[in-house]
Structure 1
Amino acid sequence: MAKKGFAGKWLFWGVFVLLAIAAVVVTIRPDPVWVDLAPVTRGPMEITIKEEGKTRVRDRYVVSSPVAGYLHRVLLEVGDPVIPGELLTEVDPMPASTLDARSRAEAEAKAQSARSALNSTRQKVAAAEAEADLAVRELARLQALSDDHFVSDERLQQAKAAADRAKAILRSARFDEEVMAHELAAARTRLEVSAARANGDGAVERVPVRSPVNGSVLGIVRKSEGVIQAGEAILELGDPGALEVVVDVLSFDAVNLRPGIEARLTGWGGGTLDAVVRRVEPVGFEDVSALGVEERRVQVVADITSPPDAWQSLGDGYRVDAEFLLWRSDIVLQVPESAIFVSDGQHQVFRVVDDRAVLTNVSVGRTNGFHTVIQDGLGEADRVVRHPDRQLEHGSQVRVR
């Protein structure tokens, strides 16, 4: 009986020690680290710059009073269409004074300058007509070849865009020609009125103010009647069908943009529009953000390449969101940017294998701020830890939230 009692004590104390050791092990064993996981995916990726912009009529014309006098009330409203030569308003001029020899010489010089400017503009119109004719003929040639599938759709779209731009430049040049012609007429009028005053003819006719271009009224600077000085603005005209998009881009983003880069226009109330960068201005300016931060920005001008029917409801000064496409790939291996960190100059991630974190070196490529291209180190079936904290180490047991 004594031996049985002795063996029972040893059994009891042995079990007690094992339980105590197990309790200590469970107590000191670290708890699993809670983590968020993200899969390694393969798919399309883009790197873009997105900023807010606005539409702007490409060619704006400020119609001013040709003489000092009494302005009649402007009856037009913003948005009303106008044609060249249409009467906008009238001005009863002040009695014209006789020009002395010096003033007459200056007036004649201005008339000669306006005549030379008109001749120069006509040469530009001829050059623009030649460019437009060449672009149209090239488009017709490519359309004929496209019927036989000798030309790609992308090349045909480029030719269409080139033809549209050439036509727009020609229209702008013709607007400039019309403006120069009216400026010459104004210079001649001053000489003729002064000559009539010098000859004793005191009757002065009411001076009409006519539209120099074909377009619409964009703004009315002076609507009510009253005394007006020569050269004072009355209203603004332009063609709403010739729109461009102006975007203020941060200067460190603007250095990555160049003419010809594709852009997408959204956030204007309609569908997505295609555009292309035409000019990146070489001069920056200072702007203050909504948070009160001083920023250096650069104006980027883009042309809308989508068909006019898709954006006919857009007008001057409308808000748009412009997204410039810097880089694009259809299929690329990528992970969230938040999963990557740098240690000792090496990009690393925590890969989860059998509920344990495995520290893995990776080779990265381009990033858009949300996802990063993985060139080496991971596979499509892997899962990585998002936002790894300091508690996570190589071999740590993890638990998914």
Structure 2
Amino acid sequence: MVTKGSVGKLSFWAVVVSLAGVVLFIALRPDPVWVDLATVTRGELEVSISEEGKTRVKDRYLVSSPVAGYLHRVPLEVGDRVSPGQLLTEVDPMPSSVLDARSRAEAEARVAAAQSALNSTRQKVAAARAEAELAEKELVRLQSLSADRFVSKDRLEQAESAADRANAILRSARFDEEVMIHELKAARTRLEVSAASSSGNGNVERVGVRSPVEGAVLQMVRKSEGVIQAGEPIVEVGDPAALEVVVDVLSFDAVNLAPGVAVRLSGWGGKVLEAVVRRVEPVGFEDVSALGVEEQRVKVVADIVSPTPDWSTLGDGYRVDATFVLWSGGDVLSVPTSAIFDHLEGKAVFRVEDEVAVLTEVTIGRGNGLDTVITEGLEAGMTVIRHPDRQVEDGARVRER
């Protein structure tokens, strides 16, 4: 028989056992894992590469000296406008060297020797002339006798040959005389014309150095006057309005670029400019980063397509920040890339529902390193765990830090 007292005792102990079970469950269950959370969002996403570049004039012309000589001072400054055919400077012929006492004595001796040689040659000319005249007279005499047949034909031919030979010797002697005259003139010029004795008032044949194009002076390679050799650069000119942008890109990123890729230019002090890739050079080069790491880089050349007034203050060699846009989406679902991890043969995330981690497989699209497009598996507004560690499992309790 159950009495009221026994029923009350049973109820009391039942409550005590229940409370003890609840306390034991709470005490023994695992603590929630502290995690960082992120929200699945829908909006714009862009995949891009950002590097530092600089501007440069497309067509540069290095004007050099056409001849060796004495360069006049260039009356130009960097930035001065030039037009095609404009005279930039002039080059005088190389001035004569100064003759010292020994060189002057030698020059005077050469003049005297040339004069003596000329006198000797003139005597030879006189002798040859006399021989030629005698041969001509003999030929005329024999020709007159030949008409009356007092001279044989052979004798007449010998006289003609002797006359021809005498005239040839005379012509040769006269040529030698002309040579001696020129040599005497050269010796006198060497003696009379020198940097020490030249008055500088004579007419000098100057060579003009002119601009090949319309543009401005970009660099003064040589400004002061002085002796210059043929082919030595003087000034660099080009059109500052025809600018391009050169960016050194890591070879790992350059393989994703091609002509026509859109580029944004910023960080130069003005509004953001639009540009487009014109050429990706096929040859890389080695560069050392600021951290001392050796990198393989490739030069990428881009043309500015924004209106010229927007970048009229840009000049040659200015620094810009270039952003190459590889892909962009206007209304895409994305999550932080740090929330995605490998699972089986695909990708997955931990979705949070009522403070419980739920393993969710997803299909991903393009990513920019910070955010990744989700094509299947999630919806906007859901919450996912960023940087999940080994403590996070499917069904584990989590709590936001």
Distance 2:82 2:248 in 1: 32
1:344 matched to 2:344? The reply is yes
Distance 1:227 1:9 in 2: 123
Aligned 8 A contact 2:268 2:321 in 1: yes
Tell me what 1:152 maps to: none
1:61-99 CA distance string (max 9 Å, x none) = 001112222222223111111112222222222169xxx
Distance 1:257 1:11 in 2: 79
Tell me what 1:233 maps to: 233
Contiguous gaps of at least 5 residues in structure 1: 97-196
Tell me what 1:59 maps to: 59
Cα deviation for residue 28 of structure 1 reads: 2.1
Tell me what 1:371 maps to: 371
Aligned 8 A contact 1:244 1:301 in 2: yes
Tell me what 1:128 maps to: none
Tell me what 2:294 maps to: 294
User: What letter is aligned with 1:274?
Assistant: E
Tell me what 1:391 maps to: 391
Moved more, 38-47 or 17-26: 17-26
1:125-150 CA distance string (max 9 Å, x none) = xxxxxxxxxxxxxxxxxxxxxxxxxx
Aligned 8 A contact 2:70 2:95 in 1: no
Tell me what 1:149 maps to: none
Tell me what 1:308 maps to: 308
Distance 1:373 1:9 in 2: 63
Two-structure CA RMSD over aligned residues (Å): 2.6
Cα deviation for residue 336 of structure 1 reads: 0.8
User: What letter is aligned with 1:343?
Assistant: H
Cα deviation for residue 17 of structure 1 reads: 5.8
Cα deviation for residue 26 of structure 1 reads: 2.8
1:252-283 CA distance string (max 9 Å, x none) = 21111111111111111111111111111111
Structural mapping, 1:173-192, within 5 Å: none
Aligned 8 A contact 1:336 1:372 in 2: yes
Cα deviation for residue 311 of structure 1 reads: 0.4
User: What letter is aligned with 1:305?
Assistant: V
Cα deviation for residue 383 of structure 1 reads: 1.1
Distance 2:386 2:340 in 1: 8
User: What letter is aligned with 1:338?
Assistant: S
Contiguous gaps of at least 5 residues in structure 2: 97-185, 194-201
Distance 1:31 1:72 in 2: 88
User: What letter is aligned with 1:299?
Assistant: K
Identity of aligned residues (%): 68
Tell me what 1:178 maps to: none
Give runs of ≥4 in structure 1 deviating > 6 Å.
3-16
Cα deviation for residue 248 of structure 1 reads: 1.0
TM-score by length of 1: 0.68
Distance 1:9 1:45 in 2: 68
TM-score by length of 2: 0.68
**Structure exhibiting the larger radius of gyration computed from Cα positions:** 2
Distance 1:10 1:44 in 2: 66
Tell me what 2:283 maps to: 283
Distance 2:289 2:273 in 1: 27
Tell me what 1:218 maps to: 218
Distance 1:67 1:351 in 2: 79
